[in-house]
Amino acid sequence: MVNIFVLIKQVPGTHNLEIDKKNGALIREGIETMINPDDLYALELGLKLKERYGGNTTALTMGPSQAEFALRECLAMGVDEAIHVCDQIFAYSDTLQTTLVLKEVFDKIKNYDLIITGSQTSDSSTGQVPYQLSEALDIPLITDIFSIELKNGFVQCQRNFGHESQNIQVELPIILRVRKHFNKPRPLSLLGIKKAFEKGIKKFDFNSLNCPDSIDGCNKSPTRVVKTEKISLQRKNEIIKGTITEKIQKIIEIIQEHGIEKIWVGGAHE
Amino acid sequence: MNNESDYKDIWVFTEIKDHVKVHDCALEILGKGREIADKLGQNLVAVMLALDAEQYISVIEEHGADKIIYMSHPELKHYHERIFTKIVHEFVEEYKPSIFLFPSTEVGNALAARIAYRCKTGLVSDVLNLELSDEYGENLLLTDKPAYGGNIHVKIICPNTRPQMCTITMGTFKKTLIQKATVEIIKKEFNHDVQSKIKIIGTPTRKDKPTSTLSDVKFVLGGGNGLVSKDNFNKLFQLARLTSGQVGGTRRPILDGWMPEHLQIGISGETISSDLYISFGISGAIQHVVGIKDSKTIVAINKDPNAPIFRVADYCIIADAKDILDGLLEYFTVD
């Protein structure tokens, strides 16, 4: 039976981000959140593989207590189980500290075959964790696949690697990083939502993982954010009034101001 | 944590692109690296792994390196995660660089993340700027990177571990020609027997990735739900052809089959930085807006005066997008 884990993250889902003037940190209280968009493609692949080959799917996240809602959403999409890695000491973890915690989690789980991730998070946008987890667990990371088959402890897939398209075979366990648009993530079903609230979520914290002292998100993350600045989207917001013809005329002027002219496409081209 | 004072020099991973040339992004980074090395009075070192590596040395010399550490071997023709990581990590252990910069490419990002893990140090991805600062400790590398879809910029330091690492996107810095009077060349012998866990079946086919059709375009025409039908959406493609523009859009027209997936703009698609962006019938959800905000001029057309797209637009046109589209088509069609 294949044991599939999908790593997800809860991210802010709004463009009205505000910064706390006192400490320069992002205000996270009371803002809308969502599952990181790229992770939906990873979830969909996990669910598809289970439908095709059987096995068990688990959504896993590391994050504050409200990240539980993101896990409920994964359960509603159809994953079998959810794991929430949550502890005050994991807060402010950078990618290295996150990887170190995930290593403890998977060392504890032991029985994992496929760890699927999205390509990047929309908040910090580093994309580093899949590579670092591949180092930490010493298992291969496969990226940019366009087809996949599971066979008896192996995966066969087609991937783009450098400037080549390759057919590869690799023994499980592996990490798969799924690119955007790899598939069409399924919507939530009402039945799924109902089921999601009947299922339990497994929790891991510092103690239950027997974490070493080197784990301390706030104090031992090698990188430190020292300043956060909001970039204002300063725009003119000029409303163009008048008839439809006048509005069209104004757009034509704007287009021409940008050096774009009528071009000749008739005649014997193509 | 390691003793920072043992670490010196600025390293650049000079990636070889498609085993034919030094990656332009690496040459750009050498220019910035030169500036930092001069300020610190330390060496700028290029690290290169390649097949027939000698052919690339002169180009690297012309771009300001004081020293080149390289290895040349047929096994190094293509990037291999286990071999490259092992070799570069050994170099770092031996020479202890204080700063290590990588191009933000498929290879650069992968290798940098693996090296950072092995060194248990910090890595900042896709930085927009880097400078030396004494504000948080002597001569620390202060990096500036966008987060939250570019709405926020964060400044990051890596105070207690070395090397201080980051990846840099192509086009962030300019290439500069600076030839140092003497360049030290260190050739390392390839002596590695690392077996891949990944078995390639059959012969791979060459497949150069399509370069994005949207990210470098000067004029982008965005289409959304408000165009209502495939016929109207086709008119957008027609207008794009007549104006040398490029069509992009939101998620919705893709789901309706009006537009191919690779033309999506936004959080799960492309980010554009065109001179002019005109949106036709797009309401302006954050998922789309983050992809257009680097455009110099934004014109939005929507019949709903409260559409959020107007908040990020320079020119707001409250009208039915299909009427405007028809009018523009009429003007730009040469008869």
CATH architecture assigned to A3-220: 3-Layer(aba) Sandwich (3.40)
- Written as tens digits, the pLDDT of chain B (335 aa) is 567 788 999 999 999 998 999 999 999 999 999 999 999 999 999 999 999 999 999 999 999 999 999 999 999 999 999 999 999 999 999 999 999 999 999 999 999 999 999 999 999 998 988 999 999 999 999 999 888 766 688 999 999 999 999 999 887 888 899 999 999 999 999 988 878 889 999 988 887 655 556 777 889 999 999 999 999 999 999 999 999 899 999 988 998 899 988 899 987 678 888 999 999 999 988 778 878 988 889 999 999 999 989 989 999 999 999 999 999 999 998 76
Distance from CA of B300 to the nearest CA of A (A): 10
Q: What is the ipTM of this complex?
A: 0.86
Spatial separation of the C-alpha atoms in residues A38 and B33, rounded to whole Å: 33
Contact A101, A128 (CB under 8 A): no
Distance from CA of A201 to the nearest CA of B (A): 28
Amino acid A15: pLDDT? 57
B189 Cβ contact partners less than 8 Å away, ≥ 6 residues apart: B71
DSSP string, chain A: --EEEEE--EEE--S---B-TTT-PBP-TT--EEE-HHHHHHHHHHHHHHHHH--EEEEEEES-GGGHHHHHHHHHHT-SEEEEE--GGGTT--HHHHHHHHHHHHHHH---SEEEE-S--TTT----HHHHHHHHHT--EEESEEEEEEETTEEEEEEEETTEEEEEEEESSEEEEPPTTSS-PPPP-HHHHHHHTTS--EEE-TTTTT--TT--HHHH-S-EEEEEEEPP-----EEPPS-HHHHHHHHHHHHHHTT-------SS--
CATH for B4-188 (3.40.50.620, 3.40.50.2020, 3.40.718.10, 3.20.20.120): 3.40.50.620
Contact between A165 and B299 using a beta-carbon 8 Å cutoff: no
Contact between A266 and B334 using a beta-carbon 8 Å cutoff: yes
Distance from CA of B315 to the nearest CA of A (A): 5
Going from N- to C-terminal start, the domains of chain A cover: 3-220
- Window A:73-112, CB contacts with B under 8 Å: 94-96, 99
Spatial separation of the C-alpha atoms in residues A131 and A144, rounded to whole Å: 13
Amino acid A270: pLDDT? 35
Q: Out of A15, A140, A245, name the one closest to residue B198 (CB).
A: A140
Confidence of residue A269 (pLDDT cuts 50, 70, 90): very low
Q: Out of B146, B209, B286, name the one closest to residue A160 (CB).
A: B209
Confidence of residue A124 (pLDDT cuts 50, 70, 90): confident
Going from N- to C-terminal start, the domains of chain B cover: 4-188, 219-332
- Window B:94-153, CB contacts with A under 8 Å: 106-107, 109-110, 113-114, 116-118, 120-126, 135-136, 142, 146-153
Report the residue of B23, B148, B194, B275 to disrupt the A interface, i.e. the one with the largest count of A CBs within 10 Å: B148
CATH architecture assigned to B219-332: 3-Layer(aba) Sandwich (3.40)
Contact between B319 and A167 using a beta-carbon 8 Å cutoff: no
Distance from CA of A194 to the nearest CA of B (A): 27
Joined tokens for residue B175: 């290439």
- Measured between CA atoms, the residue of chain B closest to residue A245 is B327
- Window B:29-88, CB contacts with A under 8 Å: 78-79, 81, 85
